[in-house]
Chains A and B, each alone.
Chain A
Amino acid sequence: MKYEVVIGLEIHLELLTRSKLFCGCSTAFGLGPNTNCCPVCLGLPGSLPVFNRKAIELAVTAALALKSEVQINSRFDRKNYFYPDLPKAYQVSQYDQPLARGGCLEIELDKSRRKVSLERIHLEEEAGKLVHAGESIIGANYSLVDYNRAGIPLLEIVTAPNLYSGHEARLFLEELHSVLLYCSVSDCKMEEGSLRCDANISLRPAGSPTLGTRTEVKNMNSFRSVEMALEFEAKRQESILTAGGSIIQETFHWDEEKKHTFPLRSKEESSDYRYFPEPDLLPLVLESSYVEKLAERLPMLPQEHRLKLLDQYQLKVKEAVLLTRNRELGDFFETAAVSYSDYRNLINWVQGDLLYQLRESGRDLKKIDPRLFAELLIMVDDGKISRPVAKELLAEMVQTGADPGEMVENRHLGLISSRESLMPVIEQVILGNPDAVDNYRQGKKKALAFLVGKVMAVTGGRADPAELNRLLKEKLK
């Protein structure tokens, strides 16, 4: 039988506020354990929560960007359960009256686009973080708790079960990621845990309208691991169903090292969170004018940006998607394009050498000035510098923001194309590599490239390739 995979995602993201959801403690990441805490976020007896207005603003902005219907009246509830990372033994969350309902996000598939529907979006508070002695939660002798994270505002986004592969789940997350970055509501760093994704996944016979028994997959720490974990889990379920077995509803942990999912708990407890309205907070009532104002202030979103890029610069869809992963890259391209009109060459440099240099150096786009980047390309086009020199300069520009024109001038990096300058080097190389010279003369064309390389090495890559080729051939005749 052929099975169809059905996936729904539950995404948690930390909102980019300076202080926590209910107190004034900082949300900074990476400080000493339990240093960003106060009576409120530690849940000390007698402490009370007070809303952070900025968190509400960011949450509403995110909801608007995701076309979710912002509710004028919403409410906070207590979700009660015992766990050491939960200081009050309840999480302040939203249960039956969430901040926003519905919504959708379009993803770009290979040849088409598809709208993925959202169920709801709500605000809640983050829990603390457990640090287990030993390798993992299983078999740890003891655990320590860091409450720095406790009380950071979290936005929960729940999709409808309408993603149909691990790959689609990944595309959805990438698109969501860029929307959230465009709105500046979260820094969305999966590795720091500011964006987390849990998934419900089930299989059903292709064409069947009812959903099969689902499992939950947790601990997926990158877009890639979401895709891998869900593909793995889909295969695991398929092999059980094909063998005539049935799926047990349970929670799985993704093991990044071993690349497989394993059950987190031996038996699934049916948890009863005893939700009830949080008596320490008033219901959240938003003025419709407030929501309208935030809607007006909504920045350009990735999809709109992509359309603009496709239209204005004749880019391919994949290239536009790449440029809109985050706002900065697309803006970089557009600024460079103001003074550089060979868009094809520009996009090739951006997605090739620029992204390579950024990855290599671990830098972002803060240092390098797109106008100087355009200048660099113009120098290459005008034959002022060679491509190898341009690449070296780019590596430096990414790190220091240096001006390529100045560097070329100060370091005499300009292209060497005069016969007088090149000939002595060519003669020296021919003398030093008699074997290669013989090979060339016997008809091995590759030997020419070898000799070109030698000349390039001596000139620090500055030799004009066309002129060099011409002179070398002439000399070897």
Chain B
Amino acid sequence: MELFENTAVELSRLLRTKEVSAVDVVRSFLERIELLDPHLKAFIIRTPDMAFNTAKEVDNRRIRGEEMHPLAGVPVAIKDNISTLDLPTTCASRILENYIPPYDATVIAALKNVGMPFLGKTNMDEFAMGSSTENSAFFPTCNPWDLSRVPGGSSGGSAAAVSAAMAPLALGSDTGGSIRQPASFCGVTGLRPTYGRVSRYGLVAFASSLDQVGTITLTALDSALLLSLIAGYDPLDSTSLPGSEFDYTDDLEPDIKNLRVGLIKQHLSADFDQEVTDAVLKAASILEEYGAEVQEVSLPLTDYGLGAYYLIAPSEASSNLGRYDGVRYGYAVNGENIEDMFSRTRGEGFGPEVKRRIMIGTYALSAGYYDAYYLQAMKVRTLIRNDYKALFNDFDILLGAASPTPAFKIGEKTDDPLQMYLSDICNITDSLAGLPSLAVLSGIHSSGLPMGMQLTASPMQEIMLLKTANFFEKSRDFSPLRPVLEFSEGG
């Protein structure tokens, strides 16, 4: 077995018992990246020198007998919208192509602090706006299970990297499904934590009230390990939750007996791929088999949720992206006057989907429309929160699909933004409610593609999601669990 095939938990064990060095681990993943990434294009930039330097330092410290964090020496890939000191942070946009931040995001500082080598920054939809990573200004990323298909998005690069064993762990960000949908398309585990559990300081804002940094990993245990490192109150983020530390436990033994599970009716829709629905139903029956109480529940506002989301997120985005004006950093085009400079810079620097959302958001916030659009959407958001609150009086966990279909073809939905938006229908309502939500592999589609299911819990109950996902990982009776990738050396 190659080193790159291991989970983070296993790598951690191998490193701690000194069976392997951090340099060995880094080398294994970097070679894997070198072999595969020319085909998959999951990375915008690779950082081999930095990774080796960190690995060497970790090895030296371990030799000196220093106390080390379990993740010391375990490499990680980072979505390119998370601010990294002295490393480009492009958000896959022309407008930030040459931007190098002078500071680390809080989560990045946490990873550096324990000595996690950075493999590189991963591809994404521009400013995290999209569901396929095709909105990257640089290139699309391919799904490791089928290179003609998308990896999902917007954290498509991170999901593809973990799926293809180019990284054992990755950071992503989830605004309206951007971790969970690509995780399900690539057959890996994607966790969107409770809003406020992980600091947003340094995460380039798309929609501030929805954005959340999260993990993309192979297993629930790996997620738990990484979450324990990045979760916790951050005084630099006013929306950060006090007391949100997450204690990693290697005991994720699920307590399925008497677990109260709500099966979301709207995710069993006839519009969904039948096999996706069947996989969810099968998961429900397995839970019942082990003593859980499963009951169908309704989230009647799911459709309105999508509409509300596509008003709230673009509204905030239109404001958040105003700063890219060519004055201080990033792409800049000279103009006849200041307005001309602004419009040329933004006209050339942003891609079509970003422009579309800026226009939607600008419109929704405009005088005379604010009440009808933004304010109305916020009311829907409150109703959705209330619906969830009521459900969590009676249920511990909600179960549904992570996406209506498995991965679609590259180019299949690029001409139809509405179809693309519908791809996130399963992920949006819990984002609006700020709830923790996790996507995990539910089965293999007849097409050979992975399918995902989604688990949602009440605020701060990530442990419930991780335990249940861990249970499913153990009870799997299908294969393969990872994509089969065959490329000869040198492509």
Residues of A within 8 A of B (CB): 39, 42-51, 78, 80, 82-84, 87-90, 145, 272, 274-276, 279-282
Tell me, rounded to whole Å, the shortest Cβ–Cβ distance linking B224 to chain A.
Answer: 26
| Per-residue contact bits, chain B 365-377, to A (CB 8 Å; 1 contact, 0 not) | 1110010001000
User: Does B233 reach chain A (CB closer than 8 Å)?
Assistant: no
Majority SS at the chain A contact face: loop
Task: Check B102 against A48 for contact (C-beta < 8 Å).
Answer: no
Q: Are A276 and B322 in contact (CB under 8 A)?
A: no
- Nearest residue in A to B321 (C-beta to C-beta)? A89
B374 near A276 with CB under 8 A, answer yes
Q: Across the interface, which residues of B come within 8 angstroms of A45, CB to CB?
A: 83, 89, 91, 96, 99, 101, 204-205, 323
Whether B315 lies near A276 (C-beta < 8 A) is yes
If A44-B102, A272-B367, A276-B374 touch, whether A87 touches B238 (CB-CB below 8 Å) is: no
Asked whether, in the complex, the Cβ of B236 is within 8 Å of the Cβ of A50, the reply is yes
The interface residues of chain B, by DSSP majority, are classed as loop
A residues within 8 A CB of B323? 43, 45, 87-89
Q: Is the CB of B201 within 8 A of A276?
A: no
Which residues of chain B (87-101) have a CB below 8 Å from chain A? 89, 91, 96, 99, 101
B319–A80 touching, CB < 8 Å: yes
Within the assembled complex, what's the spacing in Å between the Cα atoms of A433 and B81? 92
Contact B105 A46 (CB under 8 A): yes
- Of B102, B208, B322, the residue contacting A279 (CB under 8 A) is B208
30 contacts between A and B (CB under 8 A): A43-B323, A44-B102, A45-B91, A46-B89, A46-B200, A46-B203, A47-B201, A48-B200, A48-B201, A48-B238, A78-B319, A82-B325, A82-B339, A84-B325, A87-B323, A88-B323, A145-B327, A272-B367, A274-B318, A274-B366, A274-B370, A275-B365, A275-B370, A276-B316, A276-B370, A279-B207, A279-B208, A279-B209, A282-B238, A282-B239
A-chain residues with CB within 8 Å of residue B203 when the two chains form the complex: 46
B272 on the interface (CB 8 Å rule)? no
Determine the chain B residues whose CB is within 8 A of the CB of A42 once the complex forms.
Answer: 328
Residue-wise, chain B 310-338 has the 8 Å CB interface mask toward A (1 for contact) of 00000110110011010111000000001
Q: Known contacts A78-B319, A274-B370; can you find 8 more A-B pairs with CB under 8 A?
A: A45-B99, A46-B204, A82-B325, A83-B338, A84-B325, A274-B318, A279-B209, A282-B238
**Given A39-B101, A46-B101; A90-B238 close (CB under 8 Å):** no
Give chain A residues whose Cβ lies under 8 Å from the Cβ of B102. 39, 44
Indicate with 1 or 0, residue by residue over B79-123, a CB within 8 angstroms of chain A CB atoms. Answer: 001110000010100001001011101000000000000000000
- Chain A residue at minimal CB-CB distance from B338: A84
B362 within 8 A of A: yes
Given A50-B235, A84-B327, A89-B325, A44–B103 Cβ distance below 8 Å? yes
B236 x A90 contact (CB < 8 A): no
B297 CB → nearest A CB, Å: 29
A48 to chain B, nearest CB (A): 5
Is B202 an interface residue when CB atoms closer than 8 A count as contact? yes
Task: Tell whether, in the assembled complex, residue B338 and residue A49 are in contact, meaning their CB atoms are under 8 Å apart.
Answer: no
Q: Which of A48, A87, A275, A279 contacts B328 (CB 8 A)?
A: A87
A280-B103 CB under 8 A given contacts A84-B325, A88-B323: no
Can you name the residue of chain B whose Cβ is closest to the Cβ of A145? B327
- CB contacts (< 8 Å) of B101 on chain A: these are 39, 44-46
Chain A residue nearest to B329 (CB atoms) is: A44
Contact check, A274 vs B365: say whether CB atoms are below 8 A apart: yes
Q: Which residues of B contact A48 (CB under 8 A)?
A: 200-201, 236-239
Q: Which of B236, B323, B342 has the most CB of A within 10 A?
A: B323
Alpha-carbon gap, A83 to B341, bound state (A): 11
Which residue in chain B gives the minimum CB-CB distance to A88? B323
What is the bound-complex CA distance between A84 and B345, given in angstroms? Answer: 13
Interface centre among B96, B235, B319 (most CB of A within 10 A): B319
Cα–Cα distance between A84 and B235 once the two chains are bound (Å): 29
Chain A residues within an 8 Å CB radius of B325: 82, 84, 89
Chain B count of residues within 8 A CB distance of the other chain: 44
Q: How many residue pairs at the A-B interface have CB separations less than 8 Å?
A: 101
Chain A residues contacting B82 (CB-CB under 8 Å) are 46
Residue in chain B with minimal CB distance to A42: B328
Interface centre among A51, A89, A279 (most CB of B within 10 A): A279
In the complex, A164 Cα to B91 Cα: how many Å?
55
- The interface centre, meaning the residue of A84, A274, A282 with most chain B CB atoms within 10 A of its CB, is A274
B238 engages A280 (CB within 8 Å): yes
Write the chain A residue with the least CB distance to B234: A48
B239:A280 contact, CB within 8 angstroms? yes
B202 touches A46 (CB 8 A): yes
Beta-carbon contact of A39 and B103 below 8 Å: yes
User: Quick one: which of B371-403 are within 8 Å of A by CB?
Assistant: 374
Binary flags per residue of B203-219, CB closer than 8 Å to A gives 1, else 0: 11101110000000000
- By the criterion CB–CB under 8 Å, are B366 and A272 in contact? yes
Across the two chains, which residue of chain B brings its CB closest to A40? B236
The 3 closest A-B pairs by CB, nearest first: A89-B322, A274-B365, A279-B209
Shortest CB distance B314–A (Å): 12
Given contacts A45-B83, A46-B101, A80-B322, contact A274 B362 (CB under 8 A): yes
A275 / chain B contacts, CB cutoff of 8 Å: 365, 370
Set of chain B residues within 8 Å of A279, measured between Cβ atoms: 207-209, 239, 316
CA distance A279 to B96 in the complex (A): 23
Type the 1/0 row for B333-361, where 1 means its CB is closer than 8 Å to any CB of A.
Answer: 00000110010000000000000000000
CB distance from B298 to the nearest CB of A (A): 29
Give Cα A276–Cα B364 distance, bound, in whole angstroms. 11
Known: A42-B328, A46-B105, A51-B238. A276 touches B365 (CB 8 A): yes
B283-313 vs A: 1/0 string, CB under 8 Å?
A: 0000000000000000000000000000000
B239 CB contacts on chain A under 8 angstroms: 48, 279-282
Q: Which of chain B's residues has its CB closest to A43's CB?
A: B323
Chain B residues positioned under 8 Å from A276 (CB to CB): 315-316, 319, 365, 370, 374
Residues of A within 8 A of B208 (CB): 279-280
In whole angstroms, what is the CA distance A439 to B105 when docked?
91
Q: Which of B205, B235, B315, B328 has the most chain A CB within a 10 Å cutoff? A: B328
Separation of A267 and B239 alpha carbons in the complex (Å): 41
| CA A148 to CA B238, docked complex, whole Å | 23
Q: What CA separation (Å) do A276 and B316 show in the bound complex? A: 9
Closest to B82 in A: A46
- Complex Cα distance A272/B91, Å? 29
By a CB distance below 8 angstroms, the chain A residues around B105 are 46
